[in-house]
Amino acid sequence: MTPLDEYAQSLTRRHLLSTGLGSIALASLLGEDARAAAPPVAEYPGALPGLPHHAAKAKRVIYLFQSGAPSQIDLFDPKPGLTKHRSEDLPDSVRKGQRLTGMTATQTRFPVAPSKYRFARHGKSGAWLSELLPHTAKVADRLCFVRSMHTEAINHDPAVTFFQTGAQIAGRPSIGSWLSYGLGSASRDLPSFVVLVSRGSGNPIDQPLYDRLWGAGFLPSRYQGVKFRPGRDPVLYLSDPAGIDRATRRDMLDDLARLNALRTEKTGDPEIATRTGQYEMAFRMQSSVPDLTDLSKEPASTFRLYGEDARKPGTFAAHCLLARRLVERGVRFVQLFHRGWDQHTNLPKQITGQCGDTDQASAALVTDLAQRGLLDDTLVVWGGEFGRTVYCQGTLTADNYGRDHHPRCFTVWLAGGGIKPGLTFGETDDFGYNITKDPVHVHDLQATMLHLLGIDHKRLTFKYQGRHFRLTDVHGDVVRKLLA
């Protein structure tokens, strides 16, 4: 069997439509859109045939992922009754023999550690929020708090991977890649999926994050996230070499496209067309990225809203501002990862730093999107990979404590994009240890996000190694009570 026959047998209908046998990829490099021959789908240029499956409320997503796991007990889910149980062992009837991590499994005691922070109700909705989140409190009526999230993973890497890909084992496509694959791009000059990573001041040496978390897995590689970095070169290898001007670069790419087209016609390898498209996108990004990252034209009011940290490249605040600028320019999925929430010890000091990093900027992003008329069709998600335990890890003192990983219940919030505002959903027990009402699994959240974007999560699939895969595997239900 020839290489061309082998590739032809492995081509999916999507490969055939999007790559052709070289001529379409060549047209892209010569300045035409490779998808132009296909009829446009309403507001979803380049979407898979048949998408959206139903009317969408959201066109795009900004996911503010708080890596390391924020403590729900200290931020969103007050348990005032814990004060009278301070330093008592967590009752066995509450823990129910549930598994522990290696960090606390050998502890002889599990002393209850009430939060040291005051909580108050905010807005017309009366949402409870910690004093650590004064800016989030001001937009409480725009938010939907889900207190009953739960997950299966108990350690960071599989837990973060689970949220991003629907599986604890690495190798599956990320949620941003699934959306890029299904919905296509709404921007000609920027990738459909962009990633920004910042380091928190709470725990600067927190858990690492790996590029595979925004990888395309078994999807064609053009759907992977593109990581932007702070500094002069936001995207690696985007700048032309010294001595190469714009016209020369254009001629080089045109010649390379013709060579790639010849190779594609011979082998049928879809990855050749992917590389061709990436070269063309990189050429266009040489103009679009400097304009995107140039904040000099933003008015002073922008920095009063987001905070002065927004002027500092690489901070969470700067990334929130960039996220708004990205979605304004048609980027489909923007993923912010903010490290530093893994607070096994010294939680009061560390969580104060993390909230200082994120509170104002997160609230500012919601406010800014609303002011610009973008919040109604932009879904914003804020949360980590699991929660923290009510019992103390290590020594409990009068003013200090730590908390271990807790997958049984934790809080995320959502805003815009068809989410019901001013809602607090789900309940946990008096110890903040187990869910007592309306549990929401990771796959349920993923299914709900896709639904808001017009996608039936059971129908967005990709055949790989003889099986049709999807983001939610064989699980997940849309949480309709969260929908506006």
**295 and 435 housed in the same domain:** no
5 has a pLDDT exceeding 90: no
Tell me the per-residue pLDDT of 287-338, one tens digit each, with 9 for 90 and over: 778 889 999 999 999 999 999 999 999 999 999 999 999 999 999 999 999 9
**82 and 28 housed in the same domain:** no
Mean pLDDT for the stretch of residues 253-261? 78
Tell me the per-residue pLDDT of 412-436, one tens digit each, with 9 for 90 and over: 999 999 999 999 999 999 999 999 9
Tell me the per-residue pLDDT of 117-155, one tens digit each, with 9 for 90 and over: 999 999 999 999 999 999 999 999 999 999 999 999 999
pLDDT of 259 reads 83
**285 and 206 housed in the same domain:** no
CB atoms within 10 A of CB 365: 29
**28 and 121 housed in the same domain:** no
**277 and 373 housed in the same domain:** no
**5 and 135 housed in the same domain:** no
Distance CA 246, CA 250 (A): 6
Residue ending a domain, among 279, 309, 339, is 309
Mean pLDDT for the stretch of residues 71-81? 98
256 has a pLDDT exceeding 80: no
16 has a pLDDT exceeding 80: no
- Is this model's pTM higher than 0.85 or not? yes
**342 and 200 housed in the same domain:** yes
**424 and 318 housed in the same domain:** yes
**175 and 304 housed in the same domain:** no
Residue ending a domain, among 309, 329, 354, is 309
Structural domain contains residue 437: yes
pLDDT greater at residue 262 or residue 475: 475
% of the chain surpassing 90 pLDDT? 74
40 has a pLDDT exceeding 70: no
Mean pLDDT of the chain: 89
**93 and 169 housed in the same domain:** yes
The CATH number of whichever domain residue 138 belongs to comes to 3.40.720
Mean pLDDT for the stretch of residues 220-242? 83
Q: Which burial class, exposed, middle or buried, applies to 42 when counting CB atoms under 10 A from its CB (0-12, 13-18, 19+)?
A: exposed
How many residues are present in the chain? 484
Structural domain contains residue 81: yes
pLDDT of 237 reads 67
Structural domain contains residue 239: no
Structural domain contains residue 126: yes
Structural domain contains residue 240: no
**103 and 174 housed in the same domain:** yes
Give whichever of 8-17, 252-261, 406-415 has the largest mean pLDDT.
Answer: 406-415
Kindly report the three-state secondary structure assignment for every residue of the chain: CCHHHHHHHHCCHHHHHHHCCCHHHHHHHCCCCCCCCCCCCCCCCCCCCCCCCCCCCCCEEEEEEECCCCCHHHHCCCCHHHHHHCCCECCHHHHCCCCCCCCCCCCCCCEECCCCCCEEEECCCCEEEECCCHHHHHCHHHEEEEEEEECCCCCHHHHHHHHHHCCCCCCCCCHHHHHHHHHCCCCCCCCCEEEEEEECCCCCCCCCCCHHHHCCCCCCHHHCCEEECCCCCCCCCCCCCCCCCHHHHHHHHHHHHHHHHHHHHHHCCHHHHHHHHHHHHHHHHHHHHHHHHCCCCCCHHHHHHHCHHHHCCCCHHHHHHHHHHHHHCCCCEEEEEEECCCCCCCHHHHHHHHHHHHHHHHHHHHHHHHHCCCHHHEEEEEECCCEEEEEECCCCCCCCCCEEEECCCEEEEEECCCECCCEEECEECCCCCCEEECCEEHHHHHHHHHHHCCCCCCCCCEEECCEEECCCCCCCCCCHHHEC
Structural domain contains residue 237: no
Give how many domains the chain has, as a whole number.
Answer: 2
Residue ending a domain, among 309, 331, 347, is 309
Structural domain contains residue 186: yes
**430 and 453 housed in the same domain:** yes
pLDDT of 4 reads 46
Structural domain contains residue 353: yes
Query: What is the domain range of residue 366?
Result: 55-230+313-482
